[in-house]
Amino acid sequence: MIRVAILGSTGSIGRSALEVIARHPDRFRVVALAANRSAEELGAQVQRFSPERAVLCHDGVSLPTSGGGTAWSSGRSALLDVAEAPDVDVVVNALVGAVGLEPTLRALLAGHRLALANKESLVAGGRLVTDAAKRGGGEIVPIDSEHSAILQCLAGYPASSVQRVVLTASGGPFRGRSRDELWRVGPEEALRHPTWDMGAKITIDSSTLANKALEVIEAHYLYGLGYDQIDAVVHPQSVIHSFVEFVDGSVLAQLGFPTMELPILYALSHPERVVDATLQTYDPVRASPLTFEPIDHAAFPLFGLGAEAGRRGGRAPVVYNAGNEVAVQAFLEGRIRFPEMADVVNEAMEQVGSGDVRSVEDVLSADADARRVAAVSVQRLAAAVGAGS
Ligand SMILES: NC(=O)c1ccc[n+]([C@@H]2O[C@H](COP(=O)([O-])OP(=O)(O)OC[C@H]3O[C@@H](n4cnc5c(N)ncnc54)[C@H](OP(=O)(O)O)[C@@H]3O)[C@@H](O)[C@H]2O)c1
């Protein structure tokens, strides 16, 4: 029986992970659940899965008074305790944003398997995360469908046999639109993703292609690949989840209709493959045609900015990620317009100094600097929008 803790259980990935686990009660048992402030939903999950522990991170939320045999606690330290608890085998990190970094480090240092959806922790923490895995003996198994695809294609092949990987991107709801047209799109339209049903932040990241840049950095750290070995291509059907090209020119790909339940199940059971009859059978005729396009860098500059941040390394990916989190939030609140998200991130990258990242404190300091600069940019841009410019 594999004992699973889910951080971010009330989100899109967290809920999907619970559905997967509910279908395999003979293999997986939920021992801890954590969310930020969705007390009611977490309470319903506790009723259904009877974990030993439930955590609400936000201190201002009152805890339910009854929970059967479940011990409730609140605050960030309770979240970190769950991530490193000795009675856990797999920690699913389905938190959103750089807040996921410390739980990622704690889980790896404790020697757990980390089923990682929270790509921001790898982008911000980079080498700290891979070092924590080495030091603690933990293992990172990605939940992101692209990185799960790479893992599945790589099985058995040494890194030296890989020429490059090609990540696929759906292109989001604005594929084919020009930069000029993107001034007129609002959050509601950006939240209507054509192929994936996800949380708000990643859906916006998908519409700007910032998500693909985060995934380039994620692939760099997960698979030890150089940035010149990681490409991305737009594939609107989201059926091929990534390609791996080997040094002899042979190319493997992993395919399937878009669902996060499959990579979640694989992250929990890896390297074993588990029968799950509810997952949709692949049908090549129904999946046809499969098409590919290059990324439009002029319309979606956040992709290039992110890849550049990855190449620069040090503080740059931390700043890119934090600036992007601020920009996405401001766009969702209607304070800035779609193309201005890239301006906010660009300014943060230009104004926040470069430097090495050797500790969590270094990450937190770069993150805080970037958020400060980005908040000022947002304020200026929002004032301009308010003034009708
Ligand atoms: N959704 C997908 O299909 C998908 C696919 C690939 C990768 N990912 C990655 O998976 C991660 C989660 O994405 P999602 O779409 O599932 O996000 P989501 O739906 O927004 O869910 C986020 C979860 O994190 C919790 N949370 C948010 N802020 C927190 C904080 N400060 N402290 C503690 N908990 C906090 C939320 O709790 P409350 O409900 O209480 O706010 C919620 O449970 C992201 O890194 C995303 O890039 C997602």
3-state secondary structure 51-99: CCEEEECCCCCCCCCCCCCCEEEECHHHHHHHHHCCCCCEEEECCCCHH
Are the beta carbons of 206 and 198 closer than 8 angstroms?
yes
Q: Ligand 1 pocket test: pick from 202, 259, 371 the residue with the most ligand atoms within 8 Å of its Cβ.
A: 202
Residue 206 and residue 254 in one domain: yes
Q: In this structure, is residue 160 part of a structural domain? A: yes
Residue 366 and residue 240 in one domain: no
Residue 37 and residue 106 in one domain: yes
**3-state SS, residue 11:** coil
Structure tokens at 64: 């339910």
Q: In this structure, is residue 291 part of a structural domain? A: yes
Integer Cα distance of 253 and 270 in angstroms: 18
Residue 169 and residue 136 in one domain: no
pLDDT at 66: 61
Q: Which residue, 35, 40, 36, is CA-closest to 9?
A: 35
Pocket of ligand 1 (CB under 6 A): 8-14, 35-38, 57, 94-96, 99, 117-120, 144, 196, 198-202, 260
**3-state SS, residue 296:** coil
Residue 28 and residue 150 in one domain: no
Q: Ligand 1 pocket test: pick from 62, 96, 191, 328 the residue with the most ligand atoms within 8 Å of its Cβ.
A: 96
CATH label of the domain that carries residue 344: 1.10.1740.10
Integer Cα distance of 149 and 161 in angstroms: 17
pLDDT at 165: 98
Using alpha carbons, list the distances in angstroms from residue 361 to 106, 174, 364. 15, 37, 5
- Pick the residue whose CA is nearest to atom 15 on ligand 1: 199
CA of 254 to the centre of ligand 1 (A): 25
Residue 89 and residue 112 in one domain: yes
Count of domains observed in the chain? 3
Q: Which residues have C-beta within 8 Å of that of residue 186, sequence separation ≥ 6?
A: 334, 338
- Evaluate the omega torsion of the peptide bond into residue 294 and state whether it is cis, within 30 degrees of 0: no
Residue 49 and residue 111 in one domain: yes
Residue 238 and residue 318 in one domain: no
Residue 236's region, left for phi above 0, alpha for psi from -120 to 50, else beta, is alpha
Q: In this structure, is residue 183 part of a structural domain? A: yes
CATH label of the domain that carries residue 7: 3.40.50.720
Domain end among 111, 128, 143: 143
Q: How do 230-234 and 162-169 pair as beta strands?
A: parallel
User: Which ligand 1 atom minimizes the distance to the CA of 145?
Assistant: 6
Q: In this structure, is residue 57 part of a structural domain? A: yes
Residue 105 and residue 22 in one domain: yes
CA of 16 to the centre of ligand 1 (A): 11
Residue 131 and residue 165 in one domain: no
Q: Which residue, 14, 3, 25, 24, is CA-closest to 93?
A: 14
pLDDT at 385: 72
Its pTM stands at 0.97
pLDDT at 212: 98
pLDDT at 388: 59
Residue 112 and residue 156 in one domain: no
Q: In this structure, is residue 268 part of a structural domain? A: no
Residue 7 and residue 122 in one domain: yes
Q: In this structure, is residue 339 part of a structural domain? A: yes
Indicate the burial class of 195 (C-beta count within 10 angstroms; 0-12, 13-18, 19 or more).
Answer: middle
Integer Cα distance of 127 and 121 in angstroms: 11
Integer Cα distance of 172 and 93 in angstroms: 24
pLDDT in tens, the chain (389 residues): 999 999 999 999 999 999 999 999 999 999 999 999 999 999 999 999 999 999 999 988 888 766 579 999 999 999 999 999 999 999 999 999 999 999 999 999 999 999 999 999 999 999 999 999 999 999 999 999 999 999 999 988 988 999 999 999 999 999 999 999 999 999 999 999 888 889 999 999 999 999 999 999 999 999 999 999 999 999 999 999 999 999 999 999 999 999 999 999 999 999 999 999 999 999 999 999 999 999 999 999 999 999 999 999 999 999 999 999 999 999 999 999 999 999 999 999 999 988 999 999 999 999 999 999 999 999 999 998 766 55
For residue 162, give the H/E element and its range: strand 162-169
Structure tokens at 146: 């692209």
Domain residues for the domain of 209 are 145-260+281-305
Are the beta carbons of 287 and 257 closer than 8 angstroms?
yes
Using alpha carbons, list the distances in angstroms from residue 355 to 29, 97, 109, 352, 379. 43, 22, 25, 10, 27
**3-state SS, residue 293:** strand
Q: In this structure, is residue 271 part of a structural domain? A: no
Q: In this structure, is residue 267 part of a structural domain? A: no
Are the beta carbons of 208 and 172 closer than 8 angstroms?
yes
pLDDT at 194: 86
Using alpha carbons, list the distances in angstroms from residue 163 to 124, 235, 244. 26, 21, 8
Integer Cα distance of 76 and 328 in angstroms: 23
Integer Cα distance of 352 and 355 in angstroms: 10
